[in-house]
Amino acid sequence: MKEIRIQALSKAYGGKQVLKGLNLTIPGEKTTAILAPSGFGKTTLLRCLMGLEKPDSGTIEGLDGVRISAVFQEDRLCGGFGAAANLRLCAPELTDAQVKKALEAFSLSGTEDKPVSAFSGGMKRRVALLRALLADYELLILDEPFHGLDEELREKIMEETCRRSRGKTVIMVTHDPYEAERMQAVQTVHLDRLEADAAL
Amino acid sequence: MKKGLRLWAVLFWLLIWQLGSMALGSEILLVSPVRVIETLAGMAVQAQFWRSVGFSLIRIFGGFLLGALLGSLLAALSSRFRIIRELFSPLVLTIRTVPVASFIILALIWFSSRNLSILISFLMVLPIIYTGVLTGIGERDRGLMEMASVFHVRRARRFLMIDLPGVYPYFHAACKTALGLSWKSGIAAEVIGMPRGSIGEHMQQAKVYLDTPSLFAWTVVIVLVSLLCERLVLHGMDLGMKTLRRWKG
Q: How large is the ipTM? A: 0.92
Q: What pLDDT digit, counting tens, does each position of A146-180 carry? A: 999 998 899 999 999 999 999 999 999 998 999 99
Is the pLDDT reported for residue A196 higher than 50?
Answer: no
| Region A11-25 average pLDDT | 92
> In this structure, are strands A4-13 and A16-26 parallel, antiparallel, or unpaired?
antiparallel
pLDDT given for residue B111 in this prediction: 87
Distances (CA, A) of B54 to A123, B59, B201, B215, B224: 52, 8, 13, 18, 13
Predicted confidence at residue A198, as pLDDT, reads 43
pLDDT of residue A80 exceeding 60, the answer is yes
Sign of torsion over alpha carbons B172, B173, B174, B175:
positive
B146 contacts in chain A (CB < 8 Å):
50, 52, 72, 76
A100 in reach of chain B (CB within 8 A): no
| Contact B143/A at CB under 8 A | yes
Average confidence (pLDDT) over A119-129:
97
Average pLDDT, chain A: 93
The Cα A154–Cα A158 span in angstroms is 6
> From CA A157, how far away is CA A70, in angstroms rounded?
16
- Between A14-23, A164-173, B78-87, the lowest mean confidence (pLDDT) is in A14-23
Q: Show the CA angle centred on residue B148, arms to residues B147 and B152, nearest 5°.
A: 120
B165 → closest Cβ in A68, A72, A78: A78
Task: Output phi, psi for B176, to 5 deg.
Answer: -60, -45
**Residue B34 pLDDT more than 60?**
yes
Residue A161 near residue A106 (C-beta atoms within 8 A): no
Which of A33-47, A112-126, B30-44, B229-243 is the least confident region?
A: A33-47
| Chain-chain contact of A69 with B151 (C-beta, under 8 angstroms) | yes
- In three-state secondary structure terms, A156 is helix
- CA A166 to chain centroid, in Å, comes to 14
Closest CA to A80 of A116, A111, A108: A116
Shortest Cα distance, chain A CAs vs residue B228, angstroms: 28
Q: What pLDDT is stored for residue A191 in this prediction? A: 84
Is the pLDDT score of A87 beyond 80? Answer: yes
B52-56 long-range contacts, CB within 8 A, separation 24+: B52/B197, B52/B198, B52/B199, B52/B201, B52/B202, B53/B199, B53/B221, B53/B225, B55/B195, B55/B197, B55/B198, B55/B199, B56/B117, B56/B186, B56/B187, B56/B190, B56/B198, B56/B199, B56/B200, B56/B225
pLDDT band for B225, please (50, 70, 90 cuts). Answer: very high
- List the single residue in A with minimal CA-CA distance to B144: A76
Q: Are A112 and A82 in contact (CB under 8 A)?
A: yes
pLDDT tops 70 at residue A96? yes
Residues 6+ apart with CB under 8 A from B244: B160, B164, B165
The per-residue pLDDT for B2 is 53
- Please report residues of A whose CB lies closer than 8 A to that of B152: 67
Q: What is the structure's pLDDT at A200?
A: 36
B245 at A interface, C-beta within 8 A:
yes
Please check whether residue B238 touches A, CB under 8 A: no
> How far apart are the C-alpha atoms of A29 and A49, rounded to whole Å?
16
How does DSSP classify residue B113? Answer: S
Instruction: Output the CA–CA distances (angstroms, integers) from residue B237 to A57, A114, A115, B99, in the order listed.
Output: 48, 21, 19, 30
Residue in B45, B50, B16, B49 with CA at minimum distance from that of residue B33? B16
pLDDT band at B210 (very low <50, low <70, confident <90, very high): very high
Higher pLDDT, residue B179 or A193 = B179
Return the CATH class of domain B45-245: mainly alpha
Give A54 to chain B, closest Cα distance, Å.
14
Lowest mean pLDDT among A31-45, A91-105, A121-135: A31-45
B53 in Cβ contact with B221 (< 8 Å):
yes
- Considering chain A, what percentage of its residues have pLDDT values greater than 90? 88
pTM: 0.89
For residue B201, the tally of other CB atoms under 10 A from its CB is 19
Confidence of residue B3 (pLDDT cuts 50, 70, 90): low
Order of strands, sheet of A169-174, starting from the edge strand that comes earlier in the sequence: A68-71, A139-143, A169-174, A31-35, A187-190
Nearest CA in chain B to A131: B151
Coil/strand/helix, residue A56: coil
The C-alpha atoms of residue A126 and residue A155 are separated, in whole angstroms, by 12
pLDDT band at B249 (very low <50, low <70, confident <90, very high): confident
